[in-house]
């Protein structure tokens, strides 16, 4: 029997951003072959991969607590990769690293020290091809106002099912001297 995996993330809901991601994915598909191409419905920024979860209620409550965080803005950046440049195992669209995003990320780590490289996966599991030059999307940004617990369904499209989501509605803290 297959085990169920979960992760915490920020869904990409902005249509213009989704269109850019899809456009970049199509450019990649013209020159590369990957086993997995991310479906537009599945575009997201991962905050924490959980794997198998024994206490799903804990993570649902943790997501609910994220409502205390204020919404924030992120910009997409360059297309990048993980792995060998001759056959990159993952190709992604980078995302700006902001203090607000880092705080939300840290909230879900529960004290564990984890390196964070914010990105949106476009493709993974390289088969063949060479990474083409792709124009930066750094002029595009979107408002992040949702945090979601996702359930993974391998072999299905869309692959990620929202289990619970919360709207970020905390107040932006202003510091005065």
- Count Cβ neighbours within 10 Å for each residue of 7-32 and write b for 16 or more, e otherwise: bbbbbbebeebbebbeebbebbeeeb
Which of these is catalytic: 5, 97, 119, 153?
119
Q: Is 119 a catalytic residue?
A: yes
The mean pLDDT value for 143-171 works out to: 94
Q: Is 44 a catalytic residue?
A: yes
Reported as a single tens digit per residue, the pLDDT across 34-53 is 999 999 999 999 999 999 99
**This prediction's pTM:** 0.90
pLDDT band at 86 (very low <50, low <70, confident <90, very high): confident
- Report pLDDT for 87: 86
Which of these is catalytic: 44, 58, 87, 97?
44
- Asked if 25 contacts 73 with a C-beta cutoff of 8 angstroms, the reply is no
Reported as a single tens digit per residue, the pLDDT across 158-170 is 999 999 999 999 8
Three-class secondary structure assignment of 40-61 = HHHCEEEEEEEECCCCHHHHHH
Half-sphere exposure of 154 (CA within 13 A, CB side): 7
pLDDT band at 176 (very low <50, low <70, confident <90, very high): very low
Separation between Cα atoms, residue 21 and residue 93, nearest integer Å: 7
Q: Is the dihedral of CA 39, 45, 51, 53 positive or negative?
A: negative
pLDDT band at 113 (very low <50, low <70, confident <90, very high): confident
Provide the phi-psi class of 42: left if phi over 0, else alpha when psi is between -120 and 50, else beta: alpha
Q: Is the dihedral of CA 43, 155, 124, 58 positive or negative?
A: positive
């Amino acid at each position: 029997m297959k085990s169920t995996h979960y992760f915490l993330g920020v869904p990409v809901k902005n249509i213009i951003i989704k269109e850019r991601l899809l456009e970049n994915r199509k450019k990649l598909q013209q020159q590369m072959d990957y086993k997995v191409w991310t479906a537009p419905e599945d575009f997201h920024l991962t905050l924490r991969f959980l794997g198998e979860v024994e206490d799903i209620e804990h993570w649902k409550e943790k997501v609910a607590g994220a409502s205390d965080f204020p919404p924030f803005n992120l910009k997409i950046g360059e297309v990048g990769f993980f792995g060998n440049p001759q056959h990159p195992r993952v190709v992604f669209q980078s995302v700006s690293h902001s203090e607000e995003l880092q705080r939300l990320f840290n909230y879900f780590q529960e004290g564990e020290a984890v390196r964070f490289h914010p990105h949106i996966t476009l493709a993974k599991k390289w088969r063949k091809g060479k990474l083409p030059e792709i124009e930066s999307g750094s002029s595009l940004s979107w408002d992040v106002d949702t945090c979601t617990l996702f359930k993974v369904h391998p072999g299905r499209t869309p692959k990620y099912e929202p289990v619970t989501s919360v709207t970020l509605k905390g107040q932006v803290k202003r510091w005065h001297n």
